[in-house]
Amino acid sequence: MGQEAECLAHAGGKSGAGKAHLEGTGLSFRGELSFDIPIGEVKSVDAKKGQLIVVTAAGETRLDLGPKAEKWALKIRYPKGRLDKLGIKPGSRVSVLGVEDEDFWAELDQRDAEASRELSEGRDFIFLRVDDEAELERLAGLERYLDRDGSIWVLWPKGQSHIKRDHVFAASKAADLVDVKICAFSDELSGLKVMIPKARR
């Protein structure tokens, strides 16, 4: 991760200047104040008006990072790199259908992906959010927009009885697509990656 910045920190009712470090294991600050926040202890993180706001069981910590605040918030929220997990590279052609996750759009922009809310041919990735079984019917019509080695990520809400992993698996099989990988897309959504079978590429 390897981010570093000179800034003002606010923690425990005190403020002080120093140097903040963000690594894969956590956030640290050394200067007039000194603290370490392991990634695993972060309950929430946000960026507002140039401040990075990190909440743990011990309380709230703020860093005056200016324009870097949003980038640091994303790196803390997704320390393993969500786009890396999803396979998105710089220049990837991506269509996003029904996903209004602002963080995801910001990550796509930072990755220099060619992202759109519209479908067009030759897509490397299509992200389709579904909230019920009926919406899974859209899956069958998406293949024609894919690059032959492209992928569709089907996203659905976690913990719902009316739309489950089994429904998504069944729909992908009915569309003659093969499932490749399943993972958490976000705190709210699960994801299944499906592709055109090798025999038909």
3-77 and 82-200, same CATH topology:
no
* For range 187-192, the mean pLDDT: 92
pLDDT at 146 over 80: yes
Reported CATH class of domain 82-200: alpha beta
Query: Could you tell me the pLDDT band of residue 80, with boundaries at 50, 70 and 90?
Result: low
- pLDDT tens, position by position, 43-79: 999 999 999 999 999 999 999 999 999 999 988 887 7
pLDDT at 90 over 80: yes
Determine the CATH number of domain 3-77.
Answer: 2.30.29.30
pLDDT at 24 over 80: no
* For range 142-170, the mean pLDDT: 95
pLDDT at 194 over 90: yes
- Phi, psi at 136, each rounded to 5°: -65, -15
Q: What pLDDT does 72 receive?
A: 94
Q: What pLDDT does 131 receive?
A: 97
Domain ranges of the chain: 3-77, 82-200
Query: Could you tell me the pLDDT band of residue 39, with boundaries at 50, 70 and 90?
Result: confident
pLDDT at 2 over 80: no
